[in-house]
Chains A and B, each alone.
Chain A
């Protein structure tokens, strides 16, 4: 057993754990952070887009030395069927601002940097160490520390912050949450395609550190609920696709099969041509939304980040929610510590209250019913096909009068999905969105 007691132990060195450890350490708390990977970031996978605002609230001057790839000036939203892409594109020179809002990043590098800042703030960071168990006071049940997989591995702390990520085995073993449901989890795979910088910039019409984000949905997921993406890094493209695990189970499709199909799509293949694939990775994403959020605090413990299911699947937001929940948890712990109160469930409930008032819970609440509405294969197959067909009818100049074209398009929708189907799709999406 280790003789000293830490103010806080943070389990995990991803964005949530780092934001929390940094917030506490920079306010003078004695913080120990434990990470099972060889180095912070070695186990972490993300697309990845960094939303500056959430990080800025933790480390205001992060732009000075953080390893950022490109700031995003253009967003493409693609609806794909097997041969076509329809969609929306937004590009603005306004995004070439002094403090850009979104960046592409490479997580292995970014997390290493973040951890260096956490250590510089005074936290003790230990890698290659897995927390195996939360240790409780046998009488009161209060969490008093953790046990690790190293000899003499019991370490005491006033509070344990679980920032252990989506799989959250520690919380599950401790009975803090129920096992995941397959329809609350997505499985995403991605590849890193390397290209010479000049080629990449020419292909995406970029200058300097400008970047493009492509988010895509449609027949590429073969009827399953999911999306795909292409993100531009300095000298590489992050290309990935993900779907609900329950859908993979039901259909027997494979993640790599989907990725292969996406890569070969006529709209994607030219972007990746002659690239050199150097890395591939897979990761689970908690997409259960508001309804899947577990108990977030108790006597001597808190949950932050993916472990708390804080992902807004609709807006592709996760790491910002992780950093925000980590920061708020850190602030709350510091606040309670500063007035010398115990870190029990009653005092830590302030964490949940603060989350309720923040955009985190408000956004997740807004979309609470959307996961169910989006679990509709017509959205990923029927509509992309109908829309592609409609646009093709519209754009093709072939001597057919316009009135007839309009009628054909409208009829195609009603023929395929019937009035009731259309109405129910619109209704469930609108209700989920409100």
Chain B
């Protein structure tokens, strides 16, 4: 089985500030990390490979420094990594990004065998659009399984896959044919600690670097800023809510008294709860 995992190197958005005067994002000195959502996709891919055999190819579009993240992914156990890097990709929105990645995945297929599954994270923490995965699926005509919480079953011989998809109000169990694209939901697994052998292999491995031309992209007008119809009209920092946290002084109080103080506070603020609680208590 061949699995492609699309991954992005992102600034650690927890450490980003918006400049109070100019409203621009201050990226200086902010460390870069693997998009956390992509790690759920990677771990799922690793588990499938460990069970069913095959290889995992990591794919990232980004600047040269994204090589560090790809190497890290290999230290977790991925078999190879491809970095799509070219100045023509600068300024890509989700449309241009999914175009470039889809073309590169085709090239990955030509080079190392057609992928059975393409994984992406649910979304990235810097763009938060969740559009690139579906964009790739559409362009490559792959069956699309988004917000997947669990892979219930894969039948490689019968080319079918069954997954559980988190949906509003419940879980959908979906079955489709391979090849497919899966965007993996967060919290579904936790990334492993790579073995010593994988860590050594990753430190020595060569990250394959493809330019737009290497990836087989002919129409450069579909790449980067030129291929991106999205325009950022305004960036602003959300204003803090006026309501402040209320500190209850519990010095010298026992647990019962603290609970009492908390409940009094809650019931004063949201009196409606009292009826609910009493009904719940009565039903015991």
Contact = CB atoms under 8 A, between A and B. Distances in A.
Interface of A: 2, 32, 124-126, 129, 148, 150-155
Contact of B196 (A124, A125, A150): A150
B196 A155 contact: yes
A266 B200 CA distance: 54
B211 to A, nearest CB: 24
A256 B197 CA distance: 43
A155 B193 CA distance: 17
Which of B194, B195, B199, B204: most chain A CB closer than 10 A? B199
Contacts of B193: 150-151
A155 B200 CA distance: 10
B262 interface: no
Nearest to B194: A150
Contacts of A152: 195-197
Nearest to A153: B196
Given A32-B200, A152-B197, 5 more contacts: A124-B203, A124-B204, A129-B196, A150-B193, A152-B195
A125 B194 contact: no
B203 A126 contact: yes
Contacts of A151: 193, 195-196
Nearest to B202: A126
A155 B197 CA distance: 10
Nearest to B193: A150
A286 B121 CA distance: 47
A125 B203 CA distance: 7
A151 B76 CA distance: 12
A150 B193 CA distance: 7
A2 B203 contact: no
Interface of B: 193-197, 199-200, 203-204
A126 B202 CA distance: 9
27 contacts: A2-B196, A2-B197, A2-B200, A32-B200, A124-B200, A124-B203, A124-B204, A125-B203, A126-B199, A126-B200, A126-B203, A129-B196, A129-B199, A150-B193, A150-B194, A150-B195, A150-B199, A151-B193, A151-B195, A151-B196, A152-B195, A152-B196, A152-B197, A153-B195, A153-B196, A154-B196, A155-B196
Contacts of A2: 196-197, 200
Contacts of B195: 150-153
A124 B75 CA distance: 14
Contacts of B200: 2, 32, 124, 126
A168 B187 CA distance: 37
A388 B196 CA distance: 60
Contacts of B204: 124
A124 B199 CA distance: 11
Contacts, number: 29
B26 to A, nearest CB: 13
A281 B216 CA distance: 49
A129 B200 CA distance: 11
Contacts of B196: 2, 129, 148, 150-155
A135 to B, nearest CB: 13
Contacts of B197: 2, 152
A433 B283 CA distance: 83
A151 B200 CA distance: 12
A152 B196 CA distance: 6
B191 to A, nearest CB: 12
A319 B204 CA distance: 29
A154 B197 CA distance: 10
A152 B195 CA distance: 6
Contacts of A125: 203
B197 to A, nearest CB: 5
A132 to B, nearest CB: 12
Contacts of B199: 126, 129, 150
- Of A148, A151, A155, most buried by chain B (CB within 10 Å of CB) is A151
Nearest to A151: B195
Contacts of B194: 150
A152 B199 CA distance: 11
Contacts of B203: 124-126
A154 B200 CA distance: 12
Closest 4 CB pairs of A and B: A151-B195, A150-B196, A153-B196, A152-B196
A42 to B, nearest CB: 10
A90 B194 CA distance: 53
A67 to B, nearest CB: 13
Nearest to A124: B203
B125 to A, nearest CB: 18
A126 B204 CA distance: 10
A129 B194 CA distance: 10
A125 B199 CA distance: 10
Contacts of A32: 200
Nearest to B68: A39
A89 B194 CA distance: 54
Nearest to B192: A151
A151 B193 CA distance: 8
Contacts of A129: 196, 199
A423 B134 CA distance: 84
Nearest to B29: A278
B30 to A, nearest CB: 13
A222 to B, nearest CB: 31
Q: Which of A32, A125, A150, A154: most chain B CB closer than 10 A?
A: A150
A349 B273 CA distance: 77
A250 to B, nearest CB: 32
A264 B197 CA distance: 52
* Most chain A CB within a 10 A radius of its CB, from B193, B200, B204: B200
A235 B196 CA distance: 40
A333 to B, nearest CB: 21
B195, B196, B200, most chain A CB atoms within 10 A: B196
A281 B255 CA distance: 37
A150 B197 CA distance: 9
Nearest to A119: B203
A126 B72 CA distance: 10
Nearest to B195: A151
A152 B203 CA distance: 16
A324 to B, nearest CB: 28
Nearest to B204: A124
A91 B203 CA distance: 46
B10 to A, nearest CB: 16
Nearest to B197: A152
A154 B204 CA distance: 18
Contacts of A150: 193-196, 199
